[in-house]
Chains A and B, each alone.
Chain A
């Protein structure tokens, strides 16, 4: 997603990313980024919280208007929950990221990619 933002920007279209994985977006380097410190899945605000979603989307629009240079990151002023255990538990053996069918699908798509790569298709 960061690569797409960069490409659009290089070709004259301003962009803003709304995302939850701060380090990944920062590692790539994007023009404008609104970071929500939420679990992966809800970068635009908590489900069904219309006001919060309006605020976060609004922050993105403001960044489009006000940014004068690249690499600007602003953080949405919200805490997901008083219980921060999700931050510790994500991607751990005690709480696998993908399980059951989801893991099978992931392994299948990995294998498909491996085969395509071997055949020179990707």
Chain B
């Protein structure tokens, strides 16, 4: 399978060479939380959360303003047709790939197929997007609780997360 890219090391060297002397400090924890799935997937409501800067084109062709509800979290209806999603992200490997297929980073069609086949029960009424930002404290104190609040409100049993 070959060796995978060490992004922490690579970005540290890269931004140092760009003149940024203080390297970004990635979050690290010794303990990892864990919650077991409580019921069969075929009865679960699944949520989808992404940092792919996903956005929505309205039925009339206009672009929706994706306003955060709190912090950097915005949400949108879970039943929007896939062709009305697109990504505004500039933070991906533009030399090696593209974001023309929404399902390669926001697998909404694949999840709907799985609901149709009975593999999963249903999808959340809302999906969430997170604007990436630098403050880990704010992510932990504001954004993550907002995603949790919305998931609870929508009765979500488990969540798929897709960083880009």
Q: Is the CB of A17 within 8 A of B161?
A: yes
Count how many chain A residues have C-beta atoms less than 8 Å from C-beta atoms of the other chain.
83
Count how many chain B residues have C-beta atoms less than 8 Å from C-beta atoms of the other chain.
78
Q: Is the CB of B103 within 8 A of A45?
A: yes
Interface: B22 (CB within 8 A): no
Q: Is the CB of B105 within 8 A of A41?
A: yes
A-B pairs with CB below 8 Å: how many?
249
B117-152 Cβ-contact flags toward A at 8 Å (1 or 0): 001100000000010011110111001110110011
Beyond A17-B161, A53-B103, 9 extra complex contacts between A and B, CB < 8 Å: A1-B163, A13-B152, A13-B157, A14-B35, A31-B35, A43-B162, A47-B98, A71-B32, A113-B135
Assembled-state Cα–Cα distance A54/B29 (Å): 31
Q: Tell me which residues from 1 to 19 in chain A have a Cβ below 8 Å from any Cβ of chain B.
A: 1-19
Assembled-state Cα–Cα distance A115/B76 (Å): 30
Assembled-state Cα–Cα distance A15/B27 (Å): 18
List of A residues within 8 angstroms of B156 by Cβ: 13
